[in-house]
Amino acid sequence: MDTTEIIVTLTGLALAGFVIWYFFFSARQTASAVSSSSGVREVGITVKGGYSPDVIEVERGKPVQLSFYRDEENSCSEELLMPDFSIRRDLPAFKTTLVELLPQQAGTFPFTCGMGMLRGSLVVK
């Protein structure tokens, strides 16, 4: 093995390690639903290549309003799926789409784009 091969091998392994860490193990952005002045629990989510925040904590048995603002035109994020709540919504680009739901069971419920690539989760406590 020459020096170039060693460098390429080590760089490759380091890159693969970084990819695994970055996509699977790094810390996620979490947000809790906050009560507005009138008492509705609201969470604003920006959709741009992913959901931010992508982990949303809500309380069980309390209605929550998720407002998804889609800040891009890329077709990957045009659909929102929350299968545990039987919700499929089109998210128009550069518009806010409201999703209201009443979580009645504790647990973690994923939400994804239409093809399941962009992912977030609703944590009901």
Partner 1 sequence: MESTIKTETLDIEGMTCASCASFVEKSLTRTPGVQRAVVNFATEKATVDYLPAQASPATLKEAVVQAGYGVTERAPDTSAADRQAEIDEQKARAYAQLKRRFWVATGLAIVIMPLSMLMLWPAMMQRVNMQWLNYGLLLLTLPVLLYSGREFYTSAWNGFRHRAANMDTLIAVGTGAAFLYSLAATVVPGFFTSRGLMPEVYYDTTATIIALILLGKVLELRAKTQTSAAIKSLLGLQAKTARLVRPGGQEIDVPIEQVQLNDLIVVRPGEKVATDGILEEGHSAVDEAMLTGESLPVEKKIGDPVFGATLNKTGSFRFRVTKVGADTMLSQIVKLVEDAQGSRAPIQRLADKVSAIFVPTVVCIAILTFVLWFDLAPVEARLPLALVNFVAVLIIACPCALGLATPTAIMVSTGKGAEHGVLIRNAEALEKAYQVNTVLLDKTGTITRGEPAVTDFVPAAGQTASELLQIVAAVERQSEHPLAEAVVRYADAQQAQTIPATGFRAVEGRGATATVNGQAVLIGNFRLLDEAGIVLPAAVRQQADALLAQAKTVLYIAVAGQVAGLLGVADTVRDTSAAAIQRLQGMGIEVVMMTGDNPQTAAQVAAQVGITRYFAEVLPQDKAGKVKELQAEGRVVAMVGDGINDAPALAQADIGLAMGGGTDVAMEAAGITLMRSDLQGVVTAIELSRQTIRTIKQNLFFAFIYNTLGIPVAAGLLYPVFGWLLSPMLAAGAMALSSVSVLTNSLRLRSFSPLKN
Site for partner 1, rule CB under 8 A = 1, 5, 8-9, 12-13, 15-16, 19-20, 22-24, 26, 28, 36-40, 48-52, 54, 63, 65, 72-76, 78, 81-90, 92-93, 100, 102-105, 112-119
Nearer to partner 1, 32 or 52 (CB): 52
**Nearest distance, CB of residue 7 and partner 1, angstroms:** 10
**Beta strands across the sheet bearing 107-113:** 30-32, 55-58, 119-124, 107-113, 79-82, 87-90
CA distances from 106 to 58, 60, 71, 123 (A): 9, 6, 30, 7
Our CB check for partner 1 shows the closer of 57 and 87 to be 87
- Cα–Cα distances (Å) from 32 to 58, 68, 122, in that order, read 6, 15, 10
Minimum gap (Å) between residue 49 Cβ and partner 1: 2
